[in-house]
Amino acid sequence: MPALIDSLIIILLALGSLFSLLAALGILVMPDVYGRMQAASKAVTFGTTSIVLAAALHFQEADIVARCLLVCVFLFVTIPVASHLVARAAYRAREPLAPETSVDELAEHTKDAP
């Protein structure tokens, strides 16, 4: 049983670090602010959640586990809202879309399209 939990912790930590690395790479590679928000929001949510869950599994004490779960819940509720707001504000401020963008179906319905 301890071996099983240890391997689970290792897998979660590795996944979390991988997600965070991908987020950093994504921010470098993406051409416009919307792509960078994509990379920054998701990979960070899942990366941090995996690492926090690994900590919860490792300590297995009621107070630490409770706080870890709370951190996960808050991440899942707040990060999408924040990235939605940043992207929306960028669009409203006419932040240009990447040149390879294929369609923009929002442009017809708003007066401040980039």
Partner 1 sequence: MTVLLLNLTLMALWVASTGVFTYANSALGFLVGFVVLWWLQTLLGPTAYFRKLPLALWFSALFLWEVLKSNLRVAWDVVTPNRLREPGIVAVPLDAESDAEIAVLANLITLTPGSLCLDVSEDRRTLYVHAMFAREPDQVRREIKQRFERWVLVLLR
**List 42, 58, 71, 72, residue binding partner 1 (CB under 8 A):** 42
Short-list 30, 69, 66, 23, CA closest to 46: 23
Q: How far is the CB of 22 from partner 1 (least distance, A)?
A: 5
**List 17, 70, 74, 88, residue binding partner 1 (CB under 8 A):** 88
What is the distance in angstroms between the CA of the first residue and the CA of the last residue of the chain?
56
CB 53 within 8 A of CB 19: no
Q: How far is the CB of 114 from partner 1 (least distance, A)?
A: 10
Quick check: helix, strand or coil at residue 9? Answer: helix
Residue reference for tokens 């007066």: 111
**List 16, 46, 51, 53, residue binding partner 1 (CB under 8 A):** 46
Distance CA 4, CA 10 (A): 10
Outline where DSSP puts E strands in 21-81: none
- If binding is defined by CB under 8 A, does position 50 make contact with partner 1? no
**List 12, 16, 43, 48, residue binding partner 1 (CB under 8 A):** 43
Catalog residues that contact partner 1 under the rule CB under 8 A.
19, 22, 25-26, 29, 32, 34-35, 37-39, 41-43, 45-46, 60, 62, 76-77, 79-81, 83-84, 87-88, 91, 97-98, 100-107, 109-110
